[in-house]
Structure 1
Amino acid sequence: MHSLPIFVHLDGRPVILIGEGEAADAKRRVLERAGAVVISEGTAALAVVALEDDAEAEAAVAALKARGILVNAVDRPALCDFTLPAIVDRDPVLIAIGTGGASAGLAKILRQRIEVLLPPTVGPLARALSAARAAIRARWPDAGQRRRALDAALAAGGMLDPVAGTHDVAAWLKSDVETGDRTMTICLTSPDPDDLTLKQARLLGEADRVYAAPDVPPVILARARADAVRMSGPPSSSPGPGLTLTIEMAAS
């Protein structure tokens, strides 16, 4: 990853915005939607510089960074400490799409595609899961079991499939859910991650640890959970709790 995506709570907190015009106005609207108090000068942890003139922008960025402030410089990715992503808002669910400043247009189009996929019920599902947090912890005291139960419920076709129309969290809590240890193997016929089947992509997203043959491309491993353990070679006889996934490439 070229940067770490994070969500920052800005409600009531100051953010410096330097600049005028269409670009500055767009940044102001986004910051105010997030609850920030937009100021032109003063003390803040974040700042946005939206100046047309290169020299003025560079000077403003340098002055802000000298004060220890993290800066977003509009249309100048090399000067940015952080970027502002395209946002899909299904309150309280937020999806941020960033390209590291490479192409705001691409991020916008990806946002539009995702908007079509996600129904408005995603937000209520998130609130229902939040309200059921204590009940979920009581049902599955072990953190690994909780995650695997949620993975199964939220998977395509699961009881809480996010793109389905309705979700009954109470019924899910009462249902029989398999959270045991599993070891599975997938054999890929293509090095292209776009050729993964839905099942293969789901298993990569759920696996606690991934064992990959030497010829498995890194772009395939990149589709695994960000915090999954990645190892080469075959798994041990007792790899650990949860889902252990072995990936092999089919002989050509």
Structure 2
Amino acid sequence: MPPSLPQADALPHLPVFLTVRGRVCVLVGGGDATPPKFELLRRAGAAIRLVGADPAFAETAEAAEILPGPLAAHHLAGACLVIDASGDLDTNNRSAALARAAGVPLNVVDRPALCDFILPAILDRSPIVVAISTGGAAPAVAGLIRQELEALIPPGLGRLAALSGTLREEIRRRIADPARRLAFWRRLYRDGAADRATALDLLDQVATERPTVGALTRIVLGPGGEQDLTLRQAAALRRADLLLVEDGVDPAVLDHARRDTPRRPPVRSAAEAAALREELGRGLQVVQLVAEESQSLAPRLAAE
């Protein structure tokens, strides 16, 4: 078995988006959380098996299989997950025992110790969905973060994402270079194209225009590491397509860049310098991170 990570580096949960459309999801009802969990499963297209729900709510639960409680082993047949929204501790413990025995993942509302998975706070801009989790420690904080993001991610962005999905193959065919494709996506996001014709016009522009020259940004970090970052430097890290990282750079600084941004040691040879100039010529945004007085060939590229 691989060695376990230090607690500070370990994720409390594996972030996943699970396809439940057309699959059986068991919802144990009875508590105040039943209606919102039912609605969440309904919007995800699940085949909902509602067990032990309040009769008044069960009458309104359209397109669901309604079964009397308490939860029993046969209720879990063919299920891909169980959510217990009963709010009753005895029912919660019964659900946990039955779900474990059946090997079906379980979520118990407000009882993280009984959960195999959690349901994060969700910002829905379908097909863009943002999930925010505190690992079950502070759901209210996750909800507050979601409210902040709602102001930053406008509802129309979902329509833009849906439009983008219809253009992916056309974009790949017209623009072979990944860096230029990324430039197109950035401009599409910035301009917020409202329809296919506008997006295709923008694609024509990007496909035919001369590539924008990239930029090399050098960030020298003092003893404070992450604490020394300015807002401008943090923004450059978020935009970076490539990071050149010196030894001794505070690892926390790297958290300000995208997780998928490639990381390489700094330029040490003429061949590496030539390769970097080529990447800059393709429009890549490169950030070099330097610890204190460390030097490399990269800052002298512009002069060569």
Which structure features the higher share of helix residues?
Answer: 2
> Retained in 1: the 8 A contact 2:30–2:87?
no
Aligned to 1:246: 288
Task: Assess, with a 3 A threshold, how the Cα gap between structure 1 residues 149 and 165 changes in structure 2: closer, same or farther.
Answer: same
> Retained in 1: the 8 A contact 2:184–2:203?
no
Matched to 1:34, the amino acid is A
Are positions 1:22 and 2:28 aligned together? no
Shift of 1:137: 0.7
Shift of 1:26: 2.0
Shift of 1:181: 7.7
Task: Assess, with a 3 A threshold, how the Cα gap between structure 1 residues 48 and 235 changes in structure 2: closer, same or farther.
Answer: farther
- Aligned CA RMSD, in angstroms, stands at 3.2
Q: Deviations over 1:72-130 (max 9, x none)?
A: 12112233222112222222211111111111111111111111122232122112211
Are positions 1:116 and 2:151 aligned together? yes
Bigger drift between 172-181 and 105-114 goes to 172-181
Matched to 1:133, the amino acid is R
Q: What is the count of residue pairs matched by the alignment?
A: 242
1:131 to 132, 146, 166: 166
Structure 1 distance, partners of 2:27, 2:230, is: 44
Are positions 1:10 and 2:20 aligned together? yes
Residue 7 of structure 1 aligns to a residue whose secondary structure is coil
Are positions 1:82 and 2:113 aligned together? no
2:183 to 152, 168, 179: 152
Are positions 1:170 and 2:200 aligned together? yes
Residue 47 of structure 1 aligns to a residue whose secondary structure is strand
Are positions 1:70 and 2:105 aligned together? yes
Matched to 1:234, the amino acid is P
Aligned to 1:161: 190
TM-score between the two structures when normalised by the length of structure 1: 0.79
> Retained in 2: the 8 A contact 1:193–1:219?
no
Shift of 1:230: 4.2
> Retained in 2: the 8 A contact 1:211–1:235?
no
Structure 2 distance, partners of 1:165, 1:7, is: 27
Aligned to 2:231: 197
> Retained in 1: the 8 A contact 2:107–2:116?
yes
Larger radius of gyration: 2
Residue 190 of structure 2 aligns to a residue whose secondary structure is coil
Could you list the runs of 4 or more consecutive aligned residues of structure 1 that deviate by over 6 angstroms after TM superposition?
179-182
Structure 1 distance, partners of 2:239, 2:20, is: 30
Instruction: Give the percent of matched residue pairs that are identical in Structure 1 and Structure 2.
Output: 31
Show structure 2 runs of 5+ residues with no match: 1-10, 52-74, 294-304
